[in-house]
Amino acid sequence: MARALSPPLITVHEALELASAHLLRPMLGLAPGAAPPPRRKADMIAEIEGLLRGDSLRRLWEALDETQQLAVREALDTPVGFFDRHHFELKYGRVPAGFEDDGGLSTATLLHFFLYAPRRHGFAPTIVPLELAQRLRSFVPPPPPAEVLAAEELPEAAPLTRRDMERPAQHDLLAVLRLVEAGRVEVSASTRRPGAAAKERVAAVLADGDYFPWRASRAPRRVREIGPIRAFAWPCLVQAARLAELRGSKLALTKSGRAALHAPAAKTLRAVWKRWLGNKLLDEFNRVDAIKGQTRGNGRRTMTAPSGRRSAVADALSRCPVGRWVRFNDFGRFMQVAGFDFAVNRDPWNLYLAEPEHGSLGYDGSHDWAIIEGRYALCLLFEYAATLGLIDVAYTEPHGARPDYTHMWGSEDLRYLSRYDGLHYFRLNPLGAYCLGIAEAYEASTPSSRAALTVYPDLSIHADAELSPEERTLLETYAAAEADGVWRLDRDRALAAIEHGHDPDEFREFLAARDDQPLPETVEGFLAAAKRGARALKIRHTALLIDCADAEIAAKLTTDKRTAKLCLRAGERVLAVPTASEAAFRKAARAMGYGMPPR
C-alpha cells in the first residue's frame, strides 16, 4: 500500500528546534518524575534530548499506552520513520489519542517525545527522527503482522441469509454441464454472456436456486432487480475453463467438458478457478453496472487488467483462516494494510454515476477503496468464488446495505451501488483451501457417504438414502426420476449418454457397487442393448441434398465421369453431394452447363 511521504528528520535536535516552546514545556511536564521545566527553549531542548537517551528513553517508551506503542512500532517499520494515520486506523481500527479529528496531536502527549512535525508550521507530528529511530530499534519490537479478523460463529443478532456453498457448487457444476450438453444454454456471440432464457434455465438446476429470487422475463423495466448472480456466473465460468464453447448460438461441451462429467467435481472446480483468474472473457467490474464509463473511450483505456485484480483478491483470500467467518469490511482493510491493494481504473475521473461531469468518481470521497475496489472484490467473491464453492456466504439483500455512496452526485435513485452490496460475511471452506493451494488434497467438511441402491428387474432403482450430487447426476444420465428416491432406466437417456461419450460399463459398475445383490438380467440386458444400439450407426460425412430440375438431369450428373464420383442418387430428382466435395461438384456441373445458387 502506498503511503504518504514526509521529509525525514535526521537528529532529535533538529526536530526539537522545529517545535514551539508552547509544545515543549507541557511535554516536559509529562515525563516520568518531571521537575518544573526551564524557561528558555534551548534549555528545554537540552533537557528533552537527555530524556531521549539510555534508561530514560526506555522509561518513556514503557509509559506509552498500547495504542501509542503500536504507533511508534509502525513508524519504525518504515525507512524514514513515518507514522501513517490512515494505514494505522485500517490495521487496528483505532488511532492514538489526539489523532481522532484532524490527524495531528492538538495537545501534548507522551507520543510527542517520539513523533515530530517535519516542518515548523502546519504539519502534524508524524516522523521519528532517524537518530532516535536507531536507538529505539535496539529494544522496540517490530509491529505485529496484519491479520484477518475472524470469528467462529456469525453474529446472532444479524438478519443474515447463510449459504454453505461447498457441496452445492459440486452439484451445480455437473448440473450446468448437463444443461450445456442438452443444448439449453444460449450465449451472445459477441459478449459470450448468457441470454435471459439461458439464465433462467441455469437458475432452475442450481442447488437451492440463485441467491435472490428473480424472473428476468417479468421484471418491469422501471424496476432495478437484483437479478441473477450464480446463474450468470456459471455459463461464463465453463467457457473460461474451456469446458464449453460456442457452437452456433448455444454452448456445447468440449472434450474437457465431457471428461469433467466423470472427474471428481472438486478437482474440476479447482481447475475452473485457476482458469478464471487469468481469463479475458469478462471484467467482473462490468457487473457493477451503476458505475458508467467502463467500456468506452478513456474509461475503457484506463481500466487495469482484471487478472492482476483477481490475483490480489485470491492471494488475500488465501490468508483467511479456514472454517472461520470473516466480515467483508475487515477483509477490505486487511487487503489494503497487508499490501494486497489494487486499482480498478488508473484514472477514476473517467468513471461516473448518471452523468460524466457532475457524477465523476474523480471527486474526493467518490473513489475511495470501498466505492471502486471494494465493489470489485465483492463481485469476485460473491459471484465467482462462492459460486465455485470456495467460500460460504452470509448476506442480506443489497438495498441499503452499504450507504457509503449516497453522498455522491447521481446516487439519488440508487437503492444500492451493486447487487453484491449485501455480502457481509464469508468463510473459506475446505474446498476453497484446496482450490487456493492451501491444502494439497480435498477433504470435505462433511464427507459424502456412498448411498445404497436397490436395482429391480423392472428397471427401477431405489435409493435408501440421499444421494451425493455426483451420484444423482450420474444416475440421471441413464434414468428418469419417477418419485422421491426412485428412478427408472430410460432408453432415450441411455442412448443419448453413450452417443455423447459416456461409458455404460462405468455406470454398470456404479450400480453393482451400491447393490448387495447381483444386477438383474433385465438390467444387464438393457445396458448391453443400449451400448450396442448407440454404436450401431456412424456418421461418415455430411452432405448437401440437391434438387434437380428433372430426372434426366439427375441421371446425367450421376453417370457423367466428371460428376459421378462426387454425388449419389437420393431420389428420382435428388442428389446427395458430400459437403467436402461441394466446390468440385459445382465446377464440374458448370462445365456440363448446369449451375445452382450459392448457399
Confidence band of 1 (pLDDT split at 50, 70, 90): very low
State how far the Cα of 416 lies from the Cα of 594, in Å rounded to an integer.
67
Min mean pLDDT across 14-18, 118-122, 594-598 is at 118-122
Confidence band of 449 (pLDDT split at 50, 70, 90): low
Confidence band of 460 (pLDDT split at 50, 70, 90): very high
Cell numbers that stand for 101 in this block: 479529528
The confidence score (pLDDT) of residue 299 equals 94
Ramachandran sector of residue 597 (left: φ over 0; alpha: ψ -120 to 50; beta: rest): beta
Average pLDDT for residues 62-68, to the nearest whole number?
A: 95
State how far the Cα of 288 lies from the Cα of 372, in Å rounded to an integer.
9
Decide the pairing of beta strands 161-163 and 479-483. Answer: unpaired
Cα–Cα–Cα angle for 421, 311, 391, rounded to 5 degrees: 50
Phi, psi of 45 (to 5 degrees): -60, -45
pLDDT in tens, 67-100: 999 999 999 999 999 999 999 999 998 999 877 5
* DSSP secondary structure code for residue 116 in this structure: B
pLDDT in tens, 378-392: 999 999 999 999 999
Confidence band of 2 (pLDDT split at 50, 70, 90): very low
The answer to whether residue 542 scores a pLDDT higher than 90 is no
The confidence score (pLDDT) of residue 158 equals 76
State how far the Cα of 177 lies from the Cα of 258, in Å rounded to an integer.
8
Percent over 70 (pLDDT), the chain: 95
Helix (H, G, I), strand (E, B) or coil at 272: helix
The confidence score (pLDDT) of residue 500 equals 72
The answer to whether residue 127 scores a pLDDT higher than 90 is yes
Average pLDDT for residues 529-550, to the nearest whole number?
A: 91
Confidence band of 318 (pLDDT split at 50, 70, 90): very high
The confidence score (pLDDT) of residue 4 equals 46
- 62-to-56, 72, 408 alpha-carbon distances in Å: 10, 12, 45
Among 83-87, 121-125, 456-460, top mean pLDDT goes to 456-460
The confidence score (pLDDT) of residue 225 equals 84
State how far the Cα of 530 lies from the Cα of 258, in Å rounded to an integer.
19
State how far the Cα of 599 lies from the Cα of 591, in Å rounded to an integer.
20
Helix (H, G, I), strand (E, B) or coil at 454: strand
The answer to whether residue 447 scores a pLDDT higher than 90 is no
State how far the Cα of 468 lies from the Cα of 167, in Å rounded to an integer.
9
Sorted by sequence, the CB contacts under 8 Å of residue 196 that are 6+ apart come out as: 216, 217
Other CB atoms within 10 Å distance of the CB of residue 387:
30
Q: What is the DSSP string of 28-76?
A: HHHSTTPPPPPSSHHHHHHHHHHHTSHHHHHHHHHHS-HHHHHHHHHHH
Average pLDDT for residues 258-275, to the nearest whole number?
A: 93
List strands edge to edge, sheet with 568-569.
543-547, 574-578, 568-569
Q: Which residue has the cell 438446476?
A: 205
The confidence score (pLDDT) of residue 331 equals 97
The confidence score (pLDDT) of residue 506 equals 83
pLDDT in tens, 154-196: 998 779 999 999 999 999 999 999 999 999 999 999 999 999 9
The answer to whether residue 400 scores a pLDDT higher than 70 is yes
pLDDT in tens, 358-373: 999 999 999 999 999 9
Confidence band of 118 (pLDDT split at 50, 70, 90): confident
- 586-to-540, 551, 558 alpha-carbon distances in Å: 21, 18, 14
State how far the Cα of 383 lies from the Cα of 234, in Å rounded to an integer.
9
Other CB atoms within 10 Å distance of the CB of residue 377:
29
How confident is the prediction for the chain on average, in pLDDT? 91
The confidence score (pLDDT) of residue 599 equals 80
State how far the Cα of 459 lies from the Cα of 524, in Å rounded to an integer.
10
CA atoms within 13 A on the CB side of 581: 20
DSSP H or E stretch at residue 487: strand 486-489
The confidence score (pLDDT) of residue 122 equals 64
Min mean pLDDT across 125-134, 213-222, 443-452, 473-482 is at 213-222
The confidence score (pLDDT) of residue 222 equals 52
Q: Which one, of 212, 355, 343, lies nearest residue 291 by Cα?
A: 355
